[in-house]
Each structure stands twice: as C-alpha cells, then as structure tokens.
C-alpha cells in the first residue's frame, strides 16, 4: 500500500503548480471580462444611447447559438486528449487532434455559407421592434457577429492542443488578450463616431487574425501535433459521441440561460428593460466569474487524473475546486450586496437605475450556481456529463418559459431573476449528486469539506511564500 501512494505528494506538487498558473491565467481572463463589462456599458451608452445600445445587445446575443456548430466534439476531445497524454499515448492524441480539426474546420466553413444565405432574408428590425437600426443594417451586424463566432470555432482545436500539452494557462492568457482587443476595437469605433456595423466589422477582423495566429503557435510549440488528415478517423469521433452530445447541450443551455433570457426580456418589456437586466446581471455575475476561474483551472488536471486512474487525486482536486469557488463567490456576493448600488451609479453615471428586487434575485442565483458549476466540471473532465447536460437544458428552458409567463402577466423585471434562481437550485441538486456518486463520495460530507476555507488558504499562502 505504501508503494502505491508514495508518488502522490510529488504529483500533487506538480498539479498544484499548474492549477495555480491556470488560476493566474483565469484571473487575468476575468480581469479582462470585468474591464469589458465595466468599460463597455458607459462607453456604448454614451456614444449610442439606450435604444441603439439595447438593439446591439439583442443582436449580439443571437449568434451564441452558433457556438454549437462544432457538434460538441471540441470539449470532449480536449479532455480525451489530456487523458491520453497522461497515459503516454501521443499517437492516440494526434489522431483525436486531427479528427477534431477536420470536423471543426469543415463545420465552420459550412456555417459561414449557410448564415450568409439565410441572414439577408430575415426582417430583423420588424421582428424585434427596432427603432434606431434599419433592417439592412441589422442584417449586416448580425452576419458579422455570427461570422465571428464561426471563425472562433477552430480556436477550440487549438485550445485542445495547448491543453493536452500542459499549456492551458498560456492559451487562456492569450485568449484574454484577444478578447480585450476585440472589445477595445468596438469602443474605439463607437467613440470615433462609428455605429454597430463598423464595430461588428472590427470585432470580426481581430478574431480572424487571432485564430490564424494561435493555430500556427500550437504546432510550433508542440511539434508532435500537426494539422492534417493522415490519422483522422471517424471512429475517433464516434467514440466521443456521447460526451459530444452533452457538449452540444451545455452551450444550448447557456444560450438559453444568458441570451435566451435577454431575448425574452427584450420581446416582452423592450430594449430599455434589456439594458437594465443585462447591466445588473453583468454586475452580479462577477461572483460566477470567480467560480469559473477556479473550475476552468482545475478541469484539465481532473481530466489528467481520470486518465491516469488516480481516484485519490480526483477527489482532492474536486474538493479544492469547490472550496475555492465557494469562498471566492461568497466574498464577492457580500461585497456586491454592500456596494452594488454605488458601483452601478458610478459605472453607468446614473443612466441605469438600481432595481433592488432584481439585483437580489440575480445575486442569489450567482451564489447558487457555485456548487453545480464545479460539479459539472468534474463530470466534464471524465466525459460523463450527458445526463447533467440534459438536466441543464431542461432547467434553463423551464427558467426562460417561467420568466416569459411572469413578465407577461406582471411587467415586473425582477421575476426574470427569480426564474434564474429556480434553475440554479435544480442544477445544484442534480450535478452535486452525480459528481459525488462518480467519485464515491457523499454530497453532504462534500459540501461540509468545501465549506472549510483553511486548506485553500494554506495552498495560496504556500505559493505566495515561494515568491
């Protein structure tokens, strides 16, 4: 028994370093998100006004559904590749990489052709009751934003390569820089007097350059990876079909959860209500972003531990991930509860008025999402998240439907936040039970361990002392 567990401390030290590097990259990514959210709202409100900005938000939300064009294989392939590298199977990793590349590049090209054919026939301004943007302009803006999503799809192949090669942190840091450049381009365009059409063009242009550059970089840094069809196989994709179906479901649920709710608010209450809802939700989602910072850094290591068959390490990583996410989210929630009104007034220069009831529901929803998001990451790392993803879709769709009914009958925006909390509560119950069952743990005991902050603080302190 001693011989079996002796190597664990050294492995844990290496894993801890990679996780902390990943946390650093994710923290930078979240800083970029905060900058984008805090700077973008006042700039675009000032330059475009509430009506035009609301119309931009609605169009910006629609193309999110195109992120499913990879048919869900990117995430499952990335976890599979990471697990294969942990077992020393580079040949198998290359086969998955090339199979994924053929699929994703082909689907992205097909998506570009189809959106170019369909969008010009959509009477968007009439459907969405636009006042500041005519139909032709709305069509071009939507096509450019949709094309941006499709051009970004191959970057998922790149990310799988970086992640399998142990460089999750490097690629995610570069990804954050590109996002900042994209949104900075939108702001500069708006400040220079350009409208949504010019801004969408800049947003798309930066993405094209970044996708090409990252594709070259990954094969330069990891010479054993290469693009092509020599080892590509339909059999590899069939093997990943079940987790891929789950990965189709997750973006669908996220789109329903985020963009779907924006669409419902916009259709029922109008673009001005969208600005209020989106602004307050952006503010409260700062807590969720802290959770994703931890979960995304831990997931590659969970996949590697699963590939190596190290159940002990999986459990340890799962608990640490839940603990870090939970306490970071709680601290953020308390700060937002105390200072959210002042932040909103300063942020929007008083243009967006605080809706206290909506803000409270959204903040509760953000905190409730902590446990289920960390649990879902555990299931994704093992490519065993199909059932949880299906529950997520049903819960998100139910939340949107509930919000539509409540908003229609009450005209009270706060009920949109309540509907989101219902969804998060349902997901927490299911995902935590599924993840702990996979690891042979008990849900109540797992939550009790996650509620203890001291091991997480000890890890951060020991890392700080190294510097």
Rounded CA-CA distance 57/128 in Å is 12
Q: Which one, of 195, 253, 260, lies nearest residue 55 by Cα?
A: 195
What is the pLDDT at residue 59? Answer: 86
Domain boundaries, the chain: 8-466
The CA radius of gyration of the chain, in Å to the nearest whole number, is 22
**Which residues of the chain carry a pLDDT beneath 70?**
1-16, 65, 67-71, 125, 290, 454-467
What are the pLDDT digits (tens) for 110-132?
988 988 888 888 777 677 778 78
Tokens, residue 117? 């054919």
Rounded CA-CA distance 367/343 in Å is 19
- Residue spans of alpha helices (H) in 119-195: 124-127, 135-152, 154-164, 168-191
What is the pLDDT at residue 57? Answer: 86
What is the pLDDT at residue 14? Answer: 66
> Exposure pattern of 173-199 as b/e (b: 16+ CB <10 Å)?
bbbbebbbbbbbbbbebbeeebbbbbb
Q: Which one, of 420, 444, 320, 308, lies nearest residue 378 by Cα?
A: 320
What is the pLDDT at residue 461? Answer: 58
Rounded CA-CA distance 80/275 in Å is 40
CB neighbour list of residue 10: distance below 8 Å, 6 or more residues apart: none
- Give the single-character DSSP code of 119: G
For 346, how many CA atoms within 13 A lie in the half-sphere containing its CB? Answer: 7
What is the pLDDT at residue 401? Answer: 92
What is the pLDDT at residue 4? Answer: 35
Whole-model pTM? 0.68
What is the pLDDT at residue 68? Answer: 63
What is the pLDDT at residue 166? Answer: 81
Q: Tokens 């567990």 label which residue?
A: 5
Rounded CA-CA distance 19/380 in Å is 17
Rounded CA-CA distance 191/295 in Å is 36
What are the pLDDT digits (tens) for 381-395?
888 888 888 899 999
As separate numbers, helices (DSSP H) first and strands (DSSP E) second, the chain gives: 19, 0
Q: How would you class 317 by CB atoms within 10 Å of its CB: exposed for 0-12, middle for 13-18, buried for 19 or more? A: buried
What is the pLDDT at residue 178? Answer: 94
């Amino acid at each position: 028994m001693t011989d079996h567990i002796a190597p664990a401390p050294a492995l844990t030290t290496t894993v801890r370093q990679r996780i902390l590097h990943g946390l650093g990259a994710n923290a930078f990514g979240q800083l970029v998100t905060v900058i984008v959210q805090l700077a973008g709202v006042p700039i675009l409100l000032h330059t475009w006004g509430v009506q035009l900005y609301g119309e931009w938000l609605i169009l910006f939300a629609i193309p999110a559904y195109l992120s499913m064009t990879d048919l869900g294989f990117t995430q499952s392939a990335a976890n599979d590749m990471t697990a294969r590298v942990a077992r020393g199977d580079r040949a198998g990793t290359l086969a998955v990489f090339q199979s994924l590349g053929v699929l994703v590049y082909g689907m992205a090209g097909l998506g570009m052709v189809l959106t170019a054919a369909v969008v010009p026939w959509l009477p968007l301004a009439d459907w969405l009751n636009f006042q500041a943007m005519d139909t032709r302009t709305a069509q071009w803006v939507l096509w450019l934003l949709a094309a941006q999503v499709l051009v970004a799809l191959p970057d998922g192949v790149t990310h799988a390569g970086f992640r399998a090669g142990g460089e999750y942190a490097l690629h995610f840091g570069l990804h954050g820089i590109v996002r900042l450049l994209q949104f900075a381009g939108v702001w500069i365009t708006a400040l220079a007097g350009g409208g949504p059409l010019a801004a969408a063009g800049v947003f798309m242009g930066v993405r094209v350059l970044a996708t090409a550059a990252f594709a070259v970089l990954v094969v330069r840094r990891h010479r054993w990876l290469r693009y092509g069809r020599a080892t590509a196989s339909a059999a590899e994709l069939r093997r990943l079909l079940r987790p891929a179906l789950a990965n189709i479901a997750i973006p669908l649920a996220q789109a329903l959860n985020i963009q779907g709710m924006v669409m419902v608010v916009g259709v029922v209450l109008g673009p001005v209500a969208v600005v209020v809802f989106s602004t307050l939700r952006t503010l409260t989602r700062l807590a969720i972003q802290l959770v994703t910072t931890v979960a995304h850094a831990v997931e590659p290591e969970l996949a590697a531990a699963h590939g190596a068959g190290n159940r002990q390490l999986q459990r340890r990583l799962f608990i640490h991930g839940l603990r870090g996410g939970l306490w970071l989210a709680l601290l953020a929630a308390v700060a937002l509860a105390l200072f959210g009104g002042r932040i909103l007034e300063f942020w929007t220069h008083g243009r967006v008025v605080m809706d206290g009831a909506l803000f409270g529901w959204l903040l509760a929803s953000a905190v409730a999402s902590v446990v289920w998001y960390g649990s879902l990451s555990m299931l994704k790392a093992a490519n065993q998240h199909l059932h949880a993803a299906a529950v997520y879709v049903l819960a998100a769709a139910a939340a949107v439907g509930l919000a539509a009914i409540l908003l229609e009958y009450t005209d009270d925006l706060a009920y949109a936040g309540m509907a989101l909390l219902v969804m998060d509560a349902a997901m927490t119950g299911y995902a935590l039970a599924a993840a702990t069952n996979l690891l042979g743990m008990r849900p109540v005991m797992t939550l009790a361990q996650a509620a203890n902050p001291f091991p997480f603080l000890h890890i951060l302190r020991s890392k700080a002392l190294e510097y």
